[in-house]
Structure formats: C-alpha cells, structure tokens
Amino acid sequence: MSEPLLALNVSDKRFQSRPVIDGVQFDIRPGEIVSLLGPSGCGKSTLLRIVAGLDEDYRGTVRIEGAPPHLHSPEVGFIFQEPRLLPWLSVADNVGFDAGRGGGRHPRVRELLAEVGLADFADAYPKQLSGGMAQRAAIARGLFAQPSLLLLDEPFSAVDAFTRMRLQDLLLSLAARHGTTLLLVTHDIDEAAYLSDRIFVMAANPGRIAGEIEVGLPRPRDRAAAELARIQAQALALLHGEQLDYLDLRSELAARPRPVEPVDFASLSFAV
Amino acid sequence: MSKVSTLGAELEVGMNAGLNALPAADASERPRRRRLAAQFKGWVVPFALLVVWEAAVQLGWASAHLLPPPSELVITLSDLAASGELLRHIGVSSLRVLVGFAIGALLALVVGAAVGLSRELEAYLDPTFQALRAIPSLAWVPLLLLWLGIDEAPKITLIAIGAFFPVYLNLVAGIQNVDRKLVEVGGIFGVKGWRLIVRIFLPAALPNLLTGLRTGLSLAWMFLVAAELIAATRGLGYLLTDGREMARADLVIVAIIVLALLGKLSDSVLQLAERRLLVWRDVYDGKRS
C-alpha cells in the first residue's frame, strides 16, 4: 500500500457549540476515487471545506501529501456545487483564472476546454452556457492547476439526470487521463456507487462514518449491472441503519441552517 | 442628438455581429428596422411642438420677446457660434465639469471601495457622508465662495461634491452586494488583498459603479449651472444670467438647449462605455425569449 495522498482525522468540529463532526478518520491513496455519501447535515461538505483549507476551525489533523491544508494549495482543486464562474470573464479566462489576468491565453486552457468539449466557447461569457456546460467549464477550471487531489462538493446535483450521467463519465475519463485523485461529496447513492472505488457512508447529528464500502468493480461500469445494485443496496442499508425517526423533527430543527447574515468581509481571512 | 443614438445603434449592431459566432445571439435585420421606426416615432412630438411654437409666435398668440420662435433661436445660435463665443462658453463649462467630475468620482472610488470593504470604516465614515449628502447643493455656494474666493476653485469643488455622492453610494452598495460565493472562488485560488479587490470586488461592483458614474455626471452638470449662475464671467451658466439681465430670452433658451445637449452627449459616452463593459451581464434585454 502506497503512502496516503490524504490523511484525514477530524476529531471534533462545531458550529456555535453544536457538534457537526465527531471523530471522522480516513486515508485516501493516490489515484483513488472516494465518495462521502450521506444525508444533508452529516458534515460531509464541511469535511471537504476543511480539506480545501476553507475552514480552519476544527480539532484534528489533516495532511495532504504530508502538509496541512491551506488555501490555494497547488495539490488541491475544488469544484463547487454550482459552477460559480465569474460572469465578467470569458470561459477561457475563467478556466485560466489561476494564471492571473489574461489567464485564458494559457496553452493549457485550450487543451482543457477541448477535453470538456467547450473548445468553441472559449470566448463566450458564462451567461451563454447551459448549466451542464458551465459545470464542465468549472471542472476544467478545477483541473487547470493540475492538482493531484480534486475535491467535488455535490458537483452534479444541480443538473438534469441525463447531463449528470454524461458529466460523471466525463469526470471519470478526465481523472484517468490526468491521474487525479477524486474526493467527492454526494447524497446520490447511484452516483457514489457508479463513480467510486470506496464509499464512506456518513450519518448525521453529529456527523460520523457509519460504514465503508469497497466497490471494487472494473471500469467502465455498467449502470444497470447487478453488482452495482448490490453496492447501492449496501449503502442504503448503512444509511437506514441510522434509525432516523422521521416524525421526530427536533434534531432536524436543531440542524436547521442559520438565517442568512450579511457577509462580514473583515472576518474573512483572505479579505482585506 | 441623432448622431449619438446612431452611434449607439451602430455599436450594438457591431456587438451583435461579434457574438454571432455563438448560438445564443442572433442579429437579424428586423429588430434594427424596428428600432429605427421607434426612433422616428420619438421625433414626432418634438417636431410637432416646434411647428406649433413657431406658428404661435408668427400668428401673434405669444410675444416674440418672451418666447422667441425656433427660427430666431437658430439665428441666435448661429451668431453665437460664428463669433466663437458659444464654443468658448462650452469649452469653459465642459472643462469645469470634466475636472470637477474627475476629482469627485476618483475620491468616491477610493473612499467607496474602502468603506464598502471594511465594516469598521463604514461604521466610522458612512453616517457622516449620509449627513453631508443631505445638504442641498446651493447651500454650499456661499460657504465655498467665502473659503475659496470666486475663481475656479469653488466651482470645481462644488461640482466634485455633486459627483462624489452618487458614485460613493452606488459603489458601496455594489461592493457590499458582491456574491459571497464568488468571493469564495477568489479564496480557493488564493487571491487576497489588493488582487481580490481588483479581480473580484471591482468587476462584480462594476454595474453599480457605472450607474453611480452616470448619475454623478448628470449631477455634475446640475452643480455646474448652480456654480456659474452665481459667480462667473464665462460658461453656459453665465450665458443664462447674462440673458436674463439683458432680458434676452433667446440667449437663455439657447443656453438651456446647449446644456441639455452636452448633458445628453456626455451621458451617452458613459452609456456606451457601460454597454461595452457590461456585455457579460445576464439581464433581461426586453426581447421575447
């Protein structure tokens, strides 16, 4: 077994004294595709933000190739739930954002756009793209810095089912071609089973790992294969093992997201 | 005026042609023809009014002394233009507006960006600016004359004050409304400090900033007239005072028309800049989808 690319051990993470993650520990080896699967509120997106360096307020140790996570690590790319393209930049400039102003002229931008099938849209503005196209551009942006670990936060939850399947296949082929390790957060059992080498099923309140599933199926996988259905059933059983009483809303209410507050830019570590 | 709108139409057509390579945009002949027709309709009422006006004076319904007919205004205008006097007034006034607007807008850009980005600075500065904003423009005039004499300084200062507030207010609002999610994108890519302002906050606040600049420019013209009405020996505001003192309504009306044209012209320049800079914006453009 090779050295882990990501060694994560988050013992405790709270939002205003409410525990959201309680003792989550796992390693990811280079080249693996790993999913964090769980209901909303299980802290899976929070874990991803910790790995990305967006959240530094936790107890535990996280090491990416031996170093603690930090923003703008060249090892780590991040893909949000929505494309989050900057609307005032052309698609090419968005993909090459990391290279500074005029980054769209970087030769790698052309290659990446061709790989995600957007070669003809280099000079278009994000408003001219469909949801799936915009997410493809976002994937290209995430790969631009050639990260060894790509983090994806429910990346395909905002697109329709057909686009989602195409994007999943695109993601797999890109990961294979670039040798990128993927850590994916999802609440879609089919998606987790189809994409992953390993699935960590998470439970909520507080967030913890309910079980680990080794998928161990060769690719390309058949979406209709019986083995895949068996993996899905296994994941479902782990999710339901959680014994959620759906009539008891107390925990749901406690987990309710805080009302939206205006952003305090002064408190952001990367703001002025 | 017609020249300006044709220029705008040309630019729009040019932009559509540029986007033509993309499937989202279509530039056919029909919308252009419809726009020309709309422009023609816009001229009907002013033209009719001119005819009625001329007729009313010629037929003796109104005194030519108080309401000089359009034909006489044309003569006044061409006399003023031929003597070079009109151009001198326009030059002086335009320069005042330009300098005053530039100073006011630039200050507003710096202060607005700082206040928009820092809650701390906002808490200290914003209430003061809100209070200063409530002062009517003319109230500044005596004070500025006392402090700065009757030269260019008080006029430029007054115009700068007029331009400052709309730019400041719009920029602060624009920066404070920047989508947190886009700021986070900057964070993911390690963009911080000055570069975060230039690469995320300013472009995101650009629509508001341009609205502020356009409002500021129109206020600059308004404050110019206030400044020139009271103490000036040159400029279009002076032409207004001069016309009143010599009981020449034609001079007053010509000055008003020239002011309107200059205001419209300068606004059109900013409007052009706005269209060009904000092509990326995904807004309802009035077309049926």
Q: Which residue of B has its CA nearest to A50?
A: B188
Q: Which amino acid is at B81?
A: A
Average pLDDT of chain A to the nearest whole number:
87
Domain count, chain A: 1
Quote ipTM for the complex.
0.78
Contact B96, B224 (CB under 8 A): yes
Instruction: Using alpha carbons, list the distances in angstroms from residue B141 to B107, B158, B225.
Output: 20, 7, 11
Closest CA relative to residue A131, chosen from A160, A108, A105, A99: A160
- Tens of pLDDT, residue by residue over A224-239, are 888 998 999 889 888 8
Contacts of B197 in chain A (CB under 8 A): 272
Q: How far is B193 from chain A (nearest CA, A)?
A: 5
**Residue A219 lies inside a defined structural domain of this protein:** yes
**Residue A33 lies inside a defined structural domain of this protein:** yes
Contacts of A128 in chain B (CB under 8 A): 22, 24-25
- Per-residue pLDDT, A254: 67
The model's confidence at residue A149, banded by pLDDT at 50, 70 and 90, is: very high
Contact B258, B87 (CB under 8 A): no
**Residue A137 lies inside a defined structural domain of this protein:** no
Q: How far is CA B187 from the centre of its chain?
A: 36
Q: How far is B268 from chain A (nearest CA, A)?
A: 22
Q: How far is A88 from chain B (nearest CA, A)?
A: 5
Q: What domains lie within chain B, and their CATH numbers?
A: 1-61 (no CATH), 77-277 (1.10.3720.10)
- Per-residue pLDDT, A101: 87
Confirm or reject contact between A246 and chain B (CB < 8 A): no
Q: Element (H or E) spanning B251, and its range?
A: helix B249-277
Contact B221, B261 (CB under 8 A): no
- Per-residue pLDDT, B190: 85
**pLDDT average, residue stretch A58-83:** 89
User: Which runs of consecutive H residues, i.e. helices, occur in B118-188?
Assistant: 119-133, 137-148, 152-176, 180-188
Residues of B with CB under 8 A from a CB of A: 21-22, 24-25, 117-120, 176, 180-194, 196-197, 199-200, 203-204, 206, 279-282
**Residue A98 lies inside a defined structural domain of this protein:** no
Contact A147, A194 (CB under 8 A): no
pLDDT per residue, tens digit, chain B (289 aa), is 344 444 444 444 444 444 444 444 455 567 788 888 888 888 899 999 999 999 999 998 888 888 999 999 999 999 999 999 999 999 999 999 999 999 999 999 999 999 999 999 999 999 999 999 998 878 888 889 899 988 899 999 999 999 999 999 999 999 999 999 999 999 888 888 889 999 999 999 999 999 999 999 999 999 999 889 877 889 999 999 999 999 899 999 999 999 999 999 999 999 999 999 999 988 876 655 4
Inter-chain CB proximity A272 and B182 less than 8 Å? no
**Residue A142 lies inside a defined structural domain of this protein:** no
- Tens of pLDDT, residue by residue over A103-143, are 999 999 999 999 999 999 999 999 999 999 999 999 999 99
Instruction: Using alpha carbons, list the distances in angstroms from residue A108 to A93, A104, A178.
Output: 12, 9, 13
Q: Considering chain A, what percentage of its residues have pLDDT values greater than 70?
A: 88
Instruction: Using alpha carbons, list the distances in angstroms from residue B178 to A145, A258, A264, B205, B289.
Output: 26, 20, 12, 7, 27
A49, A76, A88: best to mutate for the B interface, most B CBs within 10 A: A88
Inter-chain CB proximity B119 and A84 less than 8 Å? no
Closest CA relative to residue A143, chosen from A76, A54, A197, A195: A76
Q: What does the DSSP 8-state code read for residue A259?
A: P
Q: How far is B265 from chain A (nearest CA, A)?
A: 27
| Full-model pTM | 0.78
Contact A234, A227 (CB under 8 A): no
Inter-chain CB proximity B186 and A270 less than 8 Å? yes
Contacts of A78 in chain B (CB under 8 A): 188
Inter-chain CB proximity B183 and A71 less than 8 Å? no
Nearest-angstrom CA–CA distance, A19 and B108: 45
Confirm or reject contact between A80 and chain B (CB < 8 A): yes
From the list B185, B189, B197, which residue is nearest A272 (CB)? B197
Nearest-angstrom CA–CA distance, A231 and A234: 5
- Per-residue pLDDT, A172: 95
- Per-residue pLDDT, B287: 58
Confirm or reject contact between A82 and chain B (CB < 8 A): yes
- Per-residue pLDDT, A28: 95
- Per-residue pLDDT, A266: 60
Q: How far is B91 from chain A (nearest CA, A)?
A: 37
Instruction: Calculate the dihedral angle through the C-alpha atoms of A128, A133, A138, A143, rounding to the nearest 10 degrees.
Output: -130
- Per-residue pLDDT, A249: 57
From the list A71, A87, A123, which residue is nearest B188 (CB)? A71
**pLDDT average, residue stretch A17-32:** 91
Contacts of B285 in chain A (CB under 8 A): none
From the list B25, B182, B193, which residue is nearest A86 (CB)? B182
**Residue A128 lies inside a defined structural domain of this protein:** no
Domain containing A232 — which CATH number? 3.40.50.300
**pLDDT average, residue stretch A159-172:** 92
Inter-chain CB proximity B24 and A86 less than 8 Å? no
**Residue A153 lies inside a defined structural domain of this protein:** yes
Q: Which residue of B has its CA nearest to A51?
A: B188
**Residue A11 lies inside a defined structural domain of this protein:** yes
From the list A84, A128, A265, which residue is nearest B182 (CB)? A84
Q: Which residue of B has its CA nearest to A141?
A: B189
Domain housing A230: 6-84+149-243
B22, B26, B189, B198: best to mutate for the A interface, most A CBs within 10 A: B189
Inter-chain CB proximity A88 and B199 less than 8 Å? no
